[in-house]
């Protein structure tokens, strides 16, 4: 499992983003030290129907750091899709 995580972590998936054609919510933390905000913004901009939500005062694991805030954001995003 750790080997798979490390392989995934080191890959830049931006070149594949254009292949994702479904609505996608990209969640990022303002202080993420693993995936820079610039790289996340670039990835989200390549999506056909991408929405980027940046959480202030959060790092790399936003759902663990702010579970209620993330859940609320996902609910609102899903509601807006309807």
Reply yes or no on whether the pLDDT at 4 is more than 60: no
Please give the pLDDT value at position 42: 93
As a whole number of angstroms, the distance between CA 41 and CA 72 comes to 21
pLDDT in tens, 5-64: 566 566 677 888 899 999 999 999 999 998 889 999 999 999 999 999 999 999 999 999
As a whole number of angstroms, the distance between CA 57 and CA 46 comes to 25
Mean pLDDT over each residue of the chain, to the nearest integer: 89
As a whole number of angstroms, the distance between CA 59 and CA 73 comes to 16
Three-class SS of residue 56?
A: coil
């Amino acid at each position: 499992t750790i080997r798979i995580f490390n392989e995934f972590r080191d890959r830049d998936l931006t070149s594949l983003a254009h292949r994702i054609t479904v609505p996608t919510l990209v969640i990022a933390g303002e202080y993420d030290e693993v995936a820079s905000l610039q790289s996340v913004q670039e990835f989200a901009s390549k999506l056909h129907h991408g929405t980027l939500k940046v959480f202030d005062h959060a790092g790399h694991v936003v759902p663990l750091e702010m579970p209620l805030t993330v859940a609320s954001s996902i609910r609102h995003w899903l509601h807006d899709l309807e």
